[in-house]
């Protein structure tokens, strides 16, 4: 099942991607008198039972063949796939070839850094380029959405704490990132963590066998498979949860493969500029598009 959030009358609502269009879950539930979860928060609190209840609800509405609750996807205003995570945790240098192209040591433990909610942006949202930054780079990433509280979990149990997966772009201002020894400034400008358009529920895919790609203005820049991660999703969740309790709705950017502008020879580095469109595609999940200005 592919879930999304969209904006209607200044409210963020839950939608489900279906063949007839985007199902407005709250509208359908209110009209039909159903107690189905109508928000991501309710889905997080109800866990697997809530997902199954929603899946059954959607299938029954489809069988009714009514268009009253469906919206054409092209007419909706997307919100970030997760709008208010308590934590945004990112993983650096998690693909071998990316570490090599960046001329950095191969990590022996996950390299973690954070972003804040100001960085979140939605599918087809416009991303502002900071006035003080010149070297803007893309980073296509698989993003984990945590579904239940995870504290000191084992690697074997880690994936059972996943709600789903979405596509993300860990945009980076390289000149700000490496201005000091800390990466925060270059990683956390407004809008520098678009996520979406959908969350694919965790029961429907193998997170370690997904093609991941990035295109800039239609030109392929990154192409890899998530099996190439140095630390897989289960290892990341377990590692982080030993010291940081993960909460429902927290998101983890799992790292980017090679092909970023930073890895090009200096003479060939053409940084992102106003008007460029960046598309991150992850197999079985979504294509996330954003334009810079």
Asked if residues 253 and 89 have their Cβ atoms less than 8 Å apart, the reply is: yes
Q: Looking at residue 67, what is its pLDDT?
A: 74
Task: Single out the residue of 260, 261, 289 nearest to residue 277, CA to CA.
Answer: 289
Q: Looking at residue 10, what is its pLDDT?
A: 94
| 83-292: CATH class | alpha beta
Mean pLDDT by 10 residues, the chain (293 residues): 97 96 96 95 95 94 75 96 97 91 89 98 98 97 98 98 98 96 95 98 94 98 97 98 98 97 95 98 97 98
Backbone dihedral region for residue 26 (phi beyond 0: left; psi -120 to 50: alpha; all else: beta): alpha
Q: Looking at residue 149, what is its pLDDT?
A: 98
Q: Looking at residue 174, what is its pLDDT?
A: 97
CA–CA gap between residue 66 and residue 189 (Å, rounded): 43
Dump the DSSP string for 111-159: EEEEE-GGGEE-TT-EEPPPTT---EE--EEEEEEE-S-BSS--HHHHG
Please tell me the pTM assigned to this model. Answer: 0.96
Q: Is 278 helix (H, G, I), strand (E, B) or coil?
A: strand
Asked if residues 4 and 78 have their Cβ atoms less than 8 Å apart, the reply is: yes
Q: Looking at residue 65, what is its pLDDT?
A: 59
Sequence spans of domains, the chain: 2-77, 83-292
């Amino acid at each position: 099942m592919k879930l999304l959030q969209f904006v209607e009358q200044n409210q963020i609502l839950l939608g489900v991607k279906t063949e007839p269009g985007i199902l407005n879950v709250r509208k359908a539930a209110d009209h039909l008198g159903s107690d189905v979860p109508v928000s991501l928060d309710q889905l997080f609190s109800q866990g697997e039972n809530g997902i199954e209840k929603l899946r059954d609800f959607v299938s029954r509405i489809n069988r009714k063949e009514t268009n009253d609750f469906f919206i054409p996807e092209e007419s909706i205003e997307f919100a970030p796939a997760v709008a208010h995570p308590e934590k945004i945790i990112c993983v650096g240098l998690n693909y071998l070839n990316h570490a090599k192209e960046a001329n950095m040591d191969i990590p022996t433990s996950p390299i973690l850094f954070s972003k804040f909610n100001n960085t979140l942006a939605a599918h087809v949202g416009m991303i502002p380029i900071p006035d003080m930054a010149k070297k803007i780079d893309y980073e296509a990433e698989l993003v984990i959405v945590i579904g239940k509280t995870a504290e000191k979990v084992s690697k074997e149990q880690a994936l059972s704490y996943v709600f789903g997966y979405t596509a993300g772009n860990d945009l980076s201002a390289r000149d700000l990132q490496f201005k000091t020894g800390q990466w925060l400034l270059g990683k956390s400008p407004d809008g520098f963590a678009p996520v979406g358009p959908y969350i694919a529920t965790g029961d429907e895919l193998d997170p370690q066998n997904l093609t991941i790609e990035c295109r800039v203005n239609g030109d392929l820049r990154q192409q890899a498979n998530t099996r190439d991660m140095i630390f897989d999703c289960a290892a990341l969740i377990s590692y982080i949860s030993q010291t940081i309790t993960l909460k429902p709705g927290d998101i983890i950017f799992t790292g980017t493969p090679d092909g970023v502008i930073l890895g090009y020879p200096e003479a060939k580095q053409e940084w992102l500029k106003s008007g460029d469109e960046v598309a991150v595609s992850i197999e079985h999940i979504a294509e996330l598009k954003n334009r810079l200005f």
